[in-house]
């Protein structure tokens, strides 16, 4: 008998679970009994594994914060399986230390878990619109996805949104870009031009972002009164097309697919008409005082906040290889540009020296002309891009203090 008890204990130690009994064809409960018996006889020491107790209220509060059972488990240092047992009230197998401490959720608590009375980062969100699918069903996945899009934008949004303004939907897309930009930058342009569009009951906020969808402290708006048409197209990529009263059209490409159907459904319900703006098309706002910024003027007319300006971008682009890109916070492009430009410069100077020292004749001049032209085009391209990037109105000092306290 002693041998048998020791054998069971060894198996239990080795495998770390009461299920070790399967090896010798006994149940978990029998293994537990044998371990308790052996422990009483002083053959070995057996302590049932202590499951940490987590209060039901804590779990529900954590769920509201994280919206994921996996993350709730992690936050409380327990396994997902154990969490499942706690929440569902399924009696755990023998050996579980708190089998009588399981929670059974009340109907109200269940509805909290299901309907996500979630933390909305202090933003006014119309949950009936924002957290529902395109056919208006409340959906957990949609809720999580919307909150994920808005989480990083929340501080900026809290500052920009008016007290009676309500968020209807947030969408990730790419800002409007010229064909020349697309042509000369290549596919990476879609990462550089990323943005979040926030549809509210008053307007569309256009928030240019970095590649990882983190905010750039840049805000533009489209008021509904300026639009003659807003439609989506799924042909050749998912695009939101806006037509303004001035006749100008803008396309937001690469609308991310989870929101596409919802966006399509939302567009027909958006307010029509309303007060137009002075410029009748999309325009940038000062992220500090919300005043409309004037085209080609890189100082806020109201609070004097300074933005990266076009003239400086040109000057820096002319003086330094890749300068315009570095100035507008595109270091990777800047580095690539600096290498290309540096190389062209070496070739150009080399060819020029050859000609001047008389080593080469007329074909030497041809080389000088070719490399010179290439260098010129390269510079012109940098300037073109830098000018476009400054049109996003990026504050020079990113740590500016908000003028208006969030309402």
Interface with Zn ion (CB under 5 A) = 286, 288-289, 300, 302-303, 305
Of residues 262 and 288, the one with the C-beta less far from Zn ion: 288
Provide the total of helices (H) and of strands (E) in the chain, helices listed first.
16, 8
Residue with smaller CB distance to Zn ion, 236 or 405: 405
Nearer to Zn ion, 34 or 220 (CB): 220
Question: Would you say 169 or 286 has its CB closer to Zn ion?
Answer: 286
Q: Between residues 159 and 200, which has the closer beta carbon with respect to Zn ion?
A: 159
Q: At 103, list the tokens.
A: 């929670």
Q: Choose among 282, 211, 184: nearest CA to 240.
A: 282
DSSP reduced 3-state for 333? helix
Whether the CB-CB separation of 167 and 123 falls below 8 Å is answered with: yes
CB of 282 to Zn ion, least distance (A): 18
Cβ 401 to Zn ion, closest distance in Å?
12
Is residue 95 classed exposed, middle or buried when 0-12, 13-18 and 19+ CB atoms within 10 A define those classes? middle
Residue in the structure block whose two tokens are 């060894």: 10
Could you give the CA distance from residue 406 to residue 161 in angstroms, rounded to a whole number? Answer: 8
Question: What minimum distance in Å lies between the beta carbon of 300 and Zn ion?
Answer: 3
Closest separation between CB of residue 306 and Zn ion, Å? 10
Closer CB to Zn ion, residue 138 or residue 289?
289
Smallest gap from residue 294 Cβ to Zn ion (A):
11
Measured from the CB atom, the residue of 263 and 286 that comes closer to Zn ion is 286
Q: Shortest distance, CB of residue 304 to Zn ion, whole angstroms?
A: 7
Q: How far apart are the first and last CA of the chain?
A: 75
For 234-309, where are the E strands, in sequence order?
Answer: 239-244, 249-252, 283-285
**Which residue do the tokens 């020079």 mark?**
396
Question: Which CB sits closer to Zn ion, 282 or 288?
Answer: 288
Distance CA 253, CA 187 (A): 12
> How far, rounded to the nearest angstrom, does the alpha carbon of residue 375 sit from its chain's CA centroid?
37
- If residue 34 lies in a helix (H) or strand (E), which one and from where to where? helix 28-40
CB of 289 to Zn ion, least distance (A): 3
Closest separation in Å from C-beta 397 to Zn ion:
12
| CA proximity to 324, closest of 372, 371, 391, 373 | 391
> CA-CA distance, 217 to 393, in Å (whole number)?
9
Token pair, residue 319, equals 């003086």
Phi-psi region of 79 (alpha: psi -120 to 50; beta: other; left: phi over 0): beta
Nearest-approach distance from CB 195 to Zn ion, in angstroms = 21
Nearer to Zn ion, 150 or 300 (CB): 300
């Amino acid at each position: 008998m002693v041998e048998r008890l020791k054998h069971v204990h060894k198996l239990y130690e080795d495998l770390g679970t009461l299920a070790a009994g399967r090896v010798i064809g006994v149940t978990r409960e029998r293994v537990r009994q044998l371990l308790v018996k052996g422990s009483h006889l002083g053959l070995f020491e057996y302590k049932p594994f202590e499951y940490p107790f987590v209060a039901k209220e804590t779990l529900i509060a954590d769920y509201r914060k994280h919206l994921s059972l996996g993350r709730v488990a992690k936050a409380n240092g327990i396994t997902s399986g154990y969490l499942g047992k706690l929440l569902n009230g399924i009696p755990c197998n023998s050996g579980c230390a708190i089998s009588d401490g399981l929670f059974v959720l009340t109907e109200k608590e269940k509805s909290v878990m299901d309907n996500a009375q979630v933390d909305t980062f202090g933003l006014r969100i119309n949950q009936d619109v924002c957290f529902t699918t395109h056919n208006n069903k409340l959906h957990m996945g949609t809720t999580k996805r919307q909150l994920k899009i808005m989480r990083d934008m929340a501080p900026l949004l809290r500052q920009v949104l008016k007290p009676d303004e309500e968020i209807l939907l947030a969408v990730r897309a790419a800002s409007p870009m010229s064909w020349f930009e697309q042509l000369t930058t290549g596919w990476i342009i879609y990462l550089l031009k990323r943005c979040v569009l926030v549809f509210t009951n008053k307007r569309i906020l256009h928030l240019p972002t970095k590649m990882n969808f983190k905010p750039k402290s840049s805000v533009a708006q489209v008021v509904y009164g300026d639009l003659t048409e807003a439609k989506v197209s799924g042909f050749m990529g998912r695009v939101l097309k806006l037509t303004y009263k001035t006749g100008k059209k803008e396309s937001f490409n690469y609308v991310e697919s989870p929101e596409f159907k919802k966006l399509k459904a939302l567009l027909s319900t958006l307010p029509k008409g309303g007060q137009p703006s002075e410029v009748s098309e999309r325009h940038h706002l000062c992220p500090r005082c919300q005043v409309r910024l004037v085209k080609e003027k890189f100082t806020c007319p109201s609070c004097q906040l300074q933005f990266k300006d076009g003239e400086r971008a040109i000057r820096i682009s002319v003086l330094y290889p890749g300068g315009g890109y570095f100035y507008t916070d595109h270091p990777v492009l800047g580095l690539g540009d600096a290498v290309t430009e540096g190389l062209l410069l070496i070739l150009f100077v080399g060819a020029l020296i050859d000609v001047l020292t008389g080593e080469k004749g007329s074909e030497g001049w041809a080389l000088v002309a070719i490399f010179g032209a290439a260098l010129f085009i390269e510079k012109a391209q940098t300037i073109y891009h830098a000018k476009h990037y400054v049109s996003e109105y990026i504050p020079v000092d990113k740590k500016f203090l908000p003028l208006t306290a969030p309402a």
